[in-house]
Amino acid sequence: MRTQLLCITAAFVMLGCARVQTEPATGEVDLDLENPAKQGEDWSGSLTGQGPGSNITGTFGALALDGRTEVSVSLNGAVPNASHPWHVHEGGCNSGGVIVGDSTAYPVLQVGSTGAAAANVNLSLMLNEAMDYYVDVHASASDMQTIVACGDLDD
């Protein structure tokens, strides 16, 4: 009995030091026991080209802090002078997850003459560590069904 009481007390102490966040839509709990003093949640990932964008590579990162998430994406190997819409989605690559935030908040990636592009978006919400997210890059504004690059966000 005494051992059980000590274990329960230790668990409450650990939980008291942790940051806890609940996802309203799913009720999933984000419990950051790894580093409760950490400021914000860092996410990163790599883009891998698909189909007509098989030459595309890239990286992206996100920082969720103070009710906002700033996401940056960069890519290489795209067709020069092309324009590619992109978004953060819930789920994993090719899962068809819902776009995170307002789809019109994401600036289009304008590819330069070298095949490189970069963009940033500041979303008025925080990503939840208890959920999965991915970034996808679309072929064009008129061909949103074709994904030319995708990558899962890792926290």
Total residue length of the chain? 155
- pLDDT value for 97: 94
Most confident of 1-10, 15-24, 114-123: 114-123
Provide the residue ranges of all domains of the chain, joining segments of one domain with +.
1-36, 39-152
Residues facing 140 on adjacent strands: 143
Per-residue model confidence (pLDDT) at position 107: 97
Give the architecture (CATH level 2) of 39-152. Answer: Sandwich (2.60)
**CA 2 to CA 25: how far, in whole Å?**
39
39: which strand partners?
none
Mean pLDDT of 105-115: 97
Of the listed ranges 14-18, 90-94, 113-117, the one predicted with least confidence: 14-18
pLDDT score of 2: 42
State the pTM of this model: 0.75
Q: Count CA atoms closer than 13 A to 23's CA, side-chain side.
A: 15
In which element (H, E) is residue 13 found?
Answer: helix 2-17
Cα Rg for the chain, rounded, in angstroms? 19
Our CA angle for 39, 97, 104, nearest 5°, is 75
pLDDT, position 41: 83
Strands (E), the chain: 19-22, 29-32, 41-49, 57-65, 68-76, 83-84, 86-90, 109-110, 117-123, 133-140, 143-152
pLDDT tens digits, residue range 40-92?
Answer: 788 999 999 999 889 999 999 999 999 999 999 999 999 999 999 999 999 99
